[in-house]
Chains A and B, each alone.
Chain A
Amino acid sequence: MFEANRRGTWSLMPKSPNTKSPSAGVEAAVGTARVKRGLAEMLRGCVIMDVVDRDQAKIAEDAGASAVMALERVPADIRRDGGVARMSDPEMIAGIQAAVTIPVMAKCRIGHFAEAQVLQAMGVDYIDESEVLTPADEAHHVDKWAFTVPFVCGATNLGEALRRISEGACMIRSKGEAGTGNIVEAVRHLRSILGDVRKLTQADAAELFGWAKELRAPIDLVHEVAARGELPVPLFCAGGIATPADASLVMQLGAQAVFVGSGIFKSDDPAPRARAIVEATTHYADAGIVLEVSTGLGDAMRGLEIDQLDTKLAERGW
């Protein structure tokens, strides 16, 4: 089956801003679901790297990152420093936009639609409504259909993923414990999401209503996942990736691309590690290549045990 056919007729598609594009006088629509999800499709098989300044952004682009996430502190430092973590300083984001030619993403707090409006106004390419920052709303996420810029949101399970998609998210990522260098939580989230997707494909019509109740997700989306055998938007992995083998693991589990945060710039020698993770993500199923690129990288970030954490970021988001 040609999957894009379904995408074009999806029942929750509309509510596009539908404003005019820069090509004056010619019929053109910006901010459509297809255009917003399209950039996520282009990022398949890629590595998106957290960067805090222009130098790191250049290192990331030089290493073959397909996008960077601009933020003031990597999650490992947010964890260490404590306090309220907010959207980054626009000047810092603009500096990174000027330094690289690849897409620049930035984070807003959960539910903080005004931060999202500011990020859209400065032309960031993707907004991450992120649990790594301190939530601004304890009940609601941002209405992402109202924006021209696409959003990525984290999810620990299929219900959470489908609620975010119903709010307009164009990409879902796991919520592995950011800043720990420990892959175990991301693996749990991927296995939970993809395992339940596989179960949905086996469910009969009556069972799907039960699934919708259990997942607290719209029945239309549950039907769509059951028919496609995958989420309607790309599923990426985030949280805890520190080595090329970590990238290979999550890609083999079914992630379609990886976000790497603290894992690169908290390691001994960031540039070669960044290049190695890019190659391991492309050739994830070829152990010979993963071996080759894993050799001689120096020490990975030290990492944290999950049960010793004071704050579990993945529990943020509703």
Chain B
Amino acid sequence: MKIGILALQGAFREHAAAFDALGVETVFVRLPHHLSGIDAIVLPGGESTTQDKLLDSSGLRAPLTAALDDGVACLATCAGLILLAAEVLDGRPDQRPLDRLDLRVRRNGYGRQVASFEAPLAVEGLDAPFTGVFIRAPRIEHVGESVEVLAEHAGDAVLVRAERIWGAVFHPELSADLRLHQLFVNHCP
């Protein structure tokens, strides 16, 4: 299998390192033709407003949406989750989420960088706690019926899944722990 990693801006390198360690082939996606032949796509953390603009300038918005609708699996973390959500609060008025994960999220919902934190999470499907690294993280304020919650922190959903589309408000690629990437790979069709 081959995993595309959206590499417009943000922590794409860390996701590539994680999949490399698992022996899964990855390719950086910066232009539409980079999407060909991928089985899954990672939407990494970074700055969602920047990524949103670069989706348009690179011509990726329509082909990426089509790939998701075509059955490509997806792992979206932090800013990537904001790109996928149905509704974004405290975003920019011109921000256009792809609406492929039925969530309402609030940008920087846990506060500014001084409030960024790490915390142990009990994750459905993992035996031992996973350390979540939350960086200016979005807060999930509403979870749609089609979406399953795999982990919570302080009462909020922080890891969710709707069939082959996964979303995390934290950064599994920064935890030096490959279990979530492995879990995602195991569930890829």
Contact = CB atoms under 8 A, between A and B. Distances in A.
Interface in B113-167: 113-120, 133-136, 153-154
- The prevalent SS among residues of A at the interface is loop
A223 interface: no
Contacts of A150: 113
Contacts of B79: 42
Interface stretch (B8-16, B35-43, B65-73, B96-104): B8-16
Interface in A147-161: 148-150
A208 to B, nearest CB: 24
B11 A42 contact: yes
Interface of B: 7-14, 17-18, 20-21, 30-31, 45-47, 49-50, 53-54, 57-58, 78-79, 90-92, 107-108, 110-120, 133-136, 153-154, 171, 173-176, 178
B174 A41 contact: yes
B179 to A, nearest CB: 12
B94 to A, nearest CB: 8
A102 B8 CA distance: 17
B58 A46 contact: no
A8 B154 contact: no
28 contacts: A1-B21, A5-B176, A21-B115, A23-B110, A28-B118, A29-B117, A29-B118, A31-B114, A32-B118, A35-B134, A38-B116, A39-B116, A41-B45, A42-B45, A42-B46, A42-B135, A42-B136, A43-B10, A44-B10, A44-B12, A45-B8, A46-B10, A65-B50, A101-B92, A123-B112, A124-B112, A275-B57, A282-B9
A19 to B, nearest CB: 10
B88 to A, nearest CB: 11
A296 interface: no
Contact of B78 (A31, A42, A67): A42
A38 B174 contact: yes
B47 A42 contact: yes
B17 A2 contact: yes
A103 B113 contact: yes
A171 to B, nearest CB: 12
Contacts of A7: 176
